[in-house]
Structure 1
């Protein structure tokens, strides 16, 4: 894995890890993560926090077998009742997830499969902020074997890990002709978004390309607009942006991506 250091490489090998080794995250890895978080929080205005060694947060999930040895997490903290901040939390926390993937760590987004009250006790929120969601983080089970695998092996694991919606499903608001005529950067962006995590693997985000303006649009599928869809929108936008190569999204449902 060492020769693969780009975020697009992380997209190609990242999977949701539910079983972890009990080994602690090494001090140098924790320091790398916190440095990444410092930069991300300054850029986003969020307060994403790394919380280590709190297995009580996942006691029920570990006991049921939903997780194994889950104990560490990223706490996604931001302003209360703010949809844009929730979207940013998805976008920027996934950026940390991809960095952690390149460090050889495993991750899994969590919404309901943890003790939220216990999780909130170990992070700082204050009166004006709230805990949106979390991301389990740690060493994947048998991690020494896992991290010794070649990039191509990890990419194959990701490819067969779960089913993903097709390019056609992600772009179902477009005609067949428009899908075919879309530029390569748009198709590459959608391909990266197909590999993005989402709540219950619902993949509720739709993408379209406007030939008149040359911009892409991301929107929440109205048929799949649940409580975590705004977070999923941010995650999918990040994957699309990395896959497209360059460009920038506006915030919000239905916002445009301007290719640079």
Structure 2
């Protein structure tokens, strides 16, 4: 299956089957997270990801891992750790989303979790370096096809399937002109993959501006005021890393060559909550 099809297919899974992760898949996951190249972001920041196997949400160490009742029958958790700064969070989420897509291709369900889990319990499982914390985790397991009613109900509550339209997210040259799919040219699919990507509470904080020559795509974040402030970090920065991963993955599949750069075009911003993050430059 193509990566674009995987991105279209992927949904958050909260109800898992009781089947253990197979030895074959377990080995593939281990090999992936043990390959240091898979854990490096576009600008060289390295994340940390550890795999914790569980039985009835209890780890091999006997630690009860808390997810506040949202997750049923997880067979393990992938736990991320990084430093709490803007670009380390963005790059870590880029790395973590690549892992999520890899798992989706294996037929393994995932669910990004940034706030609805007990950090203290997971911190007992992961060796944190100085200045590191756990920004997110994902439970993993094979989706339970017969018990998805809970998942569907929760998707309805959080409006997970109600994605914003292009005119609310994407712009041509300035923030004053909306971008249509036709005007996006070769970037139509990469930009659509950004729109379809997961985000915290489905806020979709990404805003993209495509240059007049269609060679540069600038990524901005429109912060939701006070969102995740109680957690001590900006969770929406993770959404920007996810957006970068979705965009780049589609570009690579479509043979659109480019690279990430931090070169602020200093456009007039639509409001005080909008901030420049990164740009994709085509070769």
- Bin of the TM-score, shorter chain as denominator length: 0.7 to 0.9
Aligned to 2:188: 187
Q: Name the CA shift for 1:209/1:58 in 2 (closer, same or farther; >3 Å).
A: same
Asked if 1:36 corresponds to 2:32, the answer is yes
For structure 2, the 5+ residue unaligned runs are: 59-63, 149-158, 228-233, 263-274
Q: Residue by residue, what CA displacement relative to the aligned partner does 1:45-78 show, whole Å, maximum 9, x if unpaired?
A: 211222221614554523xxx2212352211112
Q: Under a length normalisation based on structure 1, what TM-score does the superposition of the two structures give? A: 0.81
Q: CA deviation at 1:223?
A: 4.4
1:11 Cα shift?
A: 0.2
Q: 2:102: which partner in 1?
A: 99
Number of positions where the alignment pairs a residue of Structure 1 with one of Structure 2 = 237
Closer, same or farther: CA 42–168 of 1 in aligned 2, 3 Å:
closer
CA shift at 1:128, angstroms?
3.7
Structure 2 distance, partners of 1:103, 1:131, is: 25
What's 2:162 paired with?
Answer: 163
* CA distance in 2: counterparts of 1:15 and 1:52, whole angstroms: 22
For the pair 1:132 / 2:120, whether they are aligned, the reply is no
Instruction: Answer whether contact 1:76 1:134 (CA < 8 A) is retained.
Output: yes
Residue of structure 1 in register with 2:91 after alignment:
88
Cα separation, 1, equivalents of 2:48 and 2:225: 28
Per the alignment, do residues 58 and 113 of structure 1 end up closer, same or farther by CA in structure 2, a change over 3 Å counting?
Answer: farther
Q: Is the 8 A contact 1:58 1:71 kept in 2?
A: no
Runs of 4+ in 1 over 4 A off after TM superposition: 56-60
- Correspondence for 1:122: 125
| Structure 1 pair 20–257 and aligned structure 2 pair: CA distance change class (3 A) | same
User: How many Å separate the matches in 1 of 2:71 and 2:131?
Assistant: 31
2:177 is matched with 175
- Report the aligned-residue RMSD: 2.7
1:249 paired residue number: 260
Q: Whole-Å Cα distance in 2 between the matches of residues 126 and 235 of structure 1?
A: 24
Structure 1 residues 98 and 215: alpha-carbon distance in aligned structure 2, compared to 1, 3 A threshold: same
CA–CA separation in structure 2 for the residues paired with 1:42 and 1:207? 24
Partners of 2:261 and 2:123 lie apart in 1 by 30
